[in-house]
Structure 1
Amino acid sequence: MAAELRRLRAAANLTREDVADRTGINNATLYRIEKARARPQKRTLQALMELYGATEAQRTDLVAMQSGSQGQGWLRPYHSELPEEYTAYIGFESEARTVRNYESLFIPGLAQTEPYARAVIRGVLPKASQKEVEQRVQARIERQAVLTKPNPLQLWAIMDEAAVRRMVGGPAVMREQAQHLVRLADEPNVTLQLIPFGTGAHTGMTGSFVHMDFPDAQDPELVYVDTPAGDLFLESEAEIRRYKSMFEHLQAVALGPGDSARLLDSVCRTE
């Protein structure tokens, strides 16, 4: 719905400021709608469709999407509790065809075991209540259903060796996590690579990121970056090209899937 509303506005040759002036819809609200961070109210959607000159077929589709988005699937029980950016990210992830994830310090969320996820969340959010921790753990584990659904997500994850060596939750938790990664790497829709310490400096040292593409070719690709200053969703062609290039570089310097699996196996034996 966000992508379609962006396309309609562009086709009407209107800026967000133009839309705000003509409809009274707050510019920030429009931004959040177009970034899929907020669902438009029916009144807002009707105003936008009218301004953009949407066809009857487009209006029907948008109203259906607006009604369907209210369900939020499995996420609904957690929607009011989780940060808005995180729920937006999960929504994108659930619709994606391919996720390319580089992590420098953590095991990717889609590959985390429950004990590891709990230890990570407690570590990075020391002030979170037990309820908040458990809600985040539950959401993270249920996200992983995208890997086993009938048309599963294609996951390509690259990790720095630090991610599998850092003792999160203790030796038993890390041993179980490494064993899970070994099993996961055998799945046909999952590719795992590790960048060993011996590689030295590499482009991924600037930070983790996720690149997504979607089944519908008209849906723009997306890069997600989690920063201390807030989560970023990047969509410009220049940004997509830059992160694609970074991921290709990381693929080249990382161990191949077979050697990565052997390194993981050695971690299982030593942790």
Structure 2
Amino acid sequence: MAVRSGALVRRRQLARILRGLRQKAGMTIEDAAPKLDFSPSKLSRIENAHQGVDVHAVRTMMDVFGVGGDRWNAILDLTREASGKGWWRAYGLDDQGYVPLEAEASGVREYTVNYLPGLLQTADYARALFESSMHVGSRAVRENDVEVRMIRQDRLRDPENPLTLTAVIEESALRRVIGGPDVMCAQLAQVWEAAALETVTIQVLPPDACAHPSVTGAFIVLSFDGLGEPDIGYVEHPMGAVHIEKAEDVARGRVVFDRLRALALDPAESAALIERVAMEL
């Protein structure tokens, strides 16, 4: 089961705490770095989560910054968590992509246009999608990526660490046959079944919605309730992907998503449409 073990998000939390401790101690990076036997650039990388740090260095930092009491053990525990390896490492993924962020997220808001959300895909549909999109790598690499996608879905049914998915799906994505009629029929059946989960809300945006705030493309907003991390936006495009962290940009994404939900069919109407499209195949 895909448990929370996202080193990237934990590292971001730790970086923010360490930066705050330095500032509270009244030190600049240039003041603190020599006391820690760091270069200013190294300390800056640590405080911006661009470089990891071990418990020994964090102990020294807390000594220099005058930290004690109950916070000491909590910060060291967080340091150990930030140094841990996420489950995705076994599949050849590093900590800089989308999967580590989603692994620590509490909620996903996703708008899709041309295909169904990865968290709802069957293995056959995902495989066909990878093959049709000029997915880079061998068949073994594709199968590896399909397995990663299946593991991600475990959290939708995880009673201890659930992930909530709120998806707005263009109706055209339901009708685009990927992998052939049998694969698509099974895929729509899985989406319909997932819509009944407490953690999943699916709304279909019909073609008569006309122009709307996101006609330019799909996007995701990740939330991290309980971790103190701000929401993060994520957009994939043919040449790669980008994380969006600027607060006003992410806020705009949330507003656009809410508008899309208002234009879409409600969950019950959406489930009925999904079932109807499946029967037409």
- Contact 2:221 2:233 (C-alpha < 8 Å) held by counterparts: yes
Partner of 1:163: 173
Alignment of 1:1-271 (within 5 A): 1=10, 2-10=12-20, 12-13=22-23, 19=29, 22=33, 23-24=38-39, 25-26=41-42, 29-30=45-46, 33=49, 39-41=52-54, 45=58, 54-55=67-68, 57-78=70-91, 81-82=92-93, 84-86=95-97, 89-151=98-160, 152-216=162-226, 218-271=228-281
**Change beyond 3 A, Cα 1:238–1:47:** farther
Stretch of structure 1 that moved more, 158-167 or 134-143: 158-167
Stretch of structure 1 that moved more, 210-219 or 192-201: 210-219
3-state DSSP class of the match of 2:111?
Answer: strand
2-structure distance, mates of 1:216, 1:178: 33
Deviations for 1:114-153, whole angstroms, at most 9, x for unmatched residues? Answer: 1011111222244311111011111110011111111422
3-state DSSP class of the match of 2:229?
Answer: coil
2-structure distance, mates of 1:222, 1:209: 11
- Contact 2:54 2:80 (C-alpha < 8 Å) held by counterparts: no
Letter in 2 for 1:247: F
Stretches of structure 2 that go unaligned for 5 or more consecutive residues are 1-9
- Contact 1:102 1:158 (C-alpha < 8 Å) held by counterparts: yes
Deviations for 1:146-167, whole angstroms, at most 9, x for unmatched residues? Answer: 1111142221111111222222
Shift of residue 201, structure 1, vs aligned partner: 2.1
Letter in 1 for 2:230: P
**Change beyond 3 A, Cα 1:47–1:115:** farther
**Change beyond 3 A, Cα 1:7–1:261:** same
- Contact 1:102 1:247 (C-alpha < 8 Å) held by counterparts: yes
- Contact 1:226 1:232 (C-alpha < 8 Å) held by counterparts: yes
**Change beyond 3 A, Cα 1:194–1:56:** same
2-structure distance, mates of 1:118, 1:259: 29
1-structure distance, mates of 2:232, 2:65: 24
RMSD of aligned C-alpha atoms?
A: 2.8
Deviations for 1:18-62, whole angstroms, at most 9, x for unmatched residues? Answer: 64893324488447726xxx6435566556656665546444333
- Contact 2:14 2:78 (C-alpha < 8 Å) held by counterparts: no
2-structure distance, mates of 1:165, 1:39: 45
Shift of residue 230, structure 1, vs aligned partner: 3.8
**Change beyond 3 A, Cα 1:170–1:73:** same
Deviations for 1:156-190, whole angstroms, at most 9, x for unmatched residues? Answer: 11111122222211111111111111111011221
3-state DSSP class of the match of 2:258?
Answer: helix
Stretches of structure 1 that go unaligned for 5 or more consecutive residues are none
Letter in 2 for 1:33: A
Shift of residue 260, structure 1, vs aligned partner: 0.8
Q: Which has the larger radius of gyration?
A: 2
Letter in 2 for 1:146: R
**Number of aligned residue pairs:** 261
- Contact 1:85 1:231 (C-alpha < 8 Å) held by counterparts: no
1-structure distance, mates of 2:14, 2:154: 27
